[in-house]
Amino acid sequence: MINDCLVIDGCVFVEGDFKGCSQRIIDSGLDAFFLTIPRSDEGFTENVKAIGNIYNLTDDPDKKIKVARTVKDIEDRAKDNVLSIILTYQDPHPIGNSLDNLRALYELGVRVVQLTYNKANYIGTGCTESKDRGLTDFGASLVQEMNKLGIIIDLSHCSKMTALDAIKASNQPVIFSHACARSITESPRNRSDEEILLLAEKGGVIGLSPWGPLCWKKEKGQQPTLDDYLDHVDYVVKLVGVDHIGYGGDTTIDDGDDVSGTVEQATLYPDVVGEYNEKVGVDPSVRHAIGFKGSAQIKNVVEAMERRGYKESDIEKFLGGNFKRVMKEVWK
């Protein structure tokens, strides 16, 4: 099945500079991935250099990667067994408060922008702020500009009010590229039924994440299993239907361990990871659901979904069909 449909991971990253994909990823059946652009917290200039480095890497045919700007790019490369990079911001710091910066980054190939990381910025409130002030006036202008240019709006780390404001302000579908259901796992990073329902009403997609702190069962106090993860999938499908799910691995694309990221999360965002770190741990081996540490293990998820009775057409939507639909509606 994986070889017969587009497989798209809604969230990957690297520790440090991007140097390419691991062989496990190249062999996994993955076709495209939303790559968190490195050094986005270092300002516009350093971030543009990081984008330039990515393009330089794609010149090497042995890397089997190319930056995608259209759905056709992804489809054509998939036929040639070349992975498509979708340039993505988790932290939109390089945009600052400038629509001109946004336009420049769009011309460099950026096609997905998360409006906030965990803290507040010029655009809106992040999910770990103590006061939720929602989308700013500049944020509303940015949403309209992203609609005009054809950039997908990602709300994964936004506060509830910012997410609801942005969904209402956008005239196109938006996404949560990597999150889970708050009704199952209470976390400032997870999404409420209200948000998921409004997202689906506007045609959007939630990429359900196997990252441990988002999909674990707190009452168990253990590393989540693949079944724990699929309980989130089932929940969202029952809430809004199979047309609004995907997956966001939220892991490295080069098999790195993200040691610095784990330390940073523990230091800056204890509301997100503190209880998990205390009860489960911080070792890289326990940071994701057992059997699903990103796209290299996507076949495990397919087999488990089949056991739960999902049809082939449903699984294809989860694997990438729904993200593809949003791309076709938004990208220009």
What pTM does this model have?
0.97
Q: DSSP characters for 184-240?
A: TS--TTSB-HHHHHHHHHTT-EEEE--BHHHH--TTTTSPPPHHHHHHHHHHHHHHH
324 is written with which tokens? 């593809």
The residues, ordered by sequence, that sit 6+ positions from 49 with a Cβ below 8 Å of its Cβ are 39
| 205-219 confidence digits (pLDDT tens) | 999 999 999 999 999
The residues, ordered by sequence, that sit 6+ positions from 4 with a Cβ below 8 Å of its Cβ are 316
Q: How far apart are CA 251 and CA 294, in angstroms?
A: 6
| 117-152 confidence digits (pLDDT tens) | 999 999 999 999 999 999 999 999 999 999 999 999
The residues, ordered by sequence, that sit 6+ positions from 94 with a Cβ below 8 Å of its Cβ are 40, 43, 44, 47, 48, 101, 105
Q: How far apart are CA 213 and CA 112, in angstroms?
A: 24
Q: How far apart are CA 169 and CA 203, in angstroms?
A: 14
Does 279 score more than 90 pLDDT?
yes
pLDDT confidence band for 1 (50 / 70 / 90): confident
Q: What's the DSSP call for residue 126?
A: B
Considering the chain, what is the average pLDDT of its residues? 97
CB-based contact 35:77 (threshold 8 Å): no
Q: What's the DSSP call for residue 20?
A: -
Does 262 score more than 90 pLDDT?
yes
Each domain of the chain, given as residue ranges in start order, spans 2-330
Cross-strand partners of 175:
154, 205
Q: What is the pLDDT of residue 4?
A: 83
CA distances from 151 to 84, 86, 117, 276, 316 (A): 16, 11, 17, 34, 24
Q: Could you tell me the sign of the dihedral formed by the alpha carbons of 175, 253, 64, 296, in that order? A: negative
Q: How far apart are CA 36 and CA 253, in angstroms?
A: 10
Cross-strand partners of 126:
158
Assign domain 2-330 to its CATH superfamily. Answer: Metal-dependent hydrolases (3.20.20.140)
Q: What is the pLDDT of residue 24?
A: 95
| 19-40 confidence digits (pLDDT tens) | 999 999 999 999 999 999 999 9
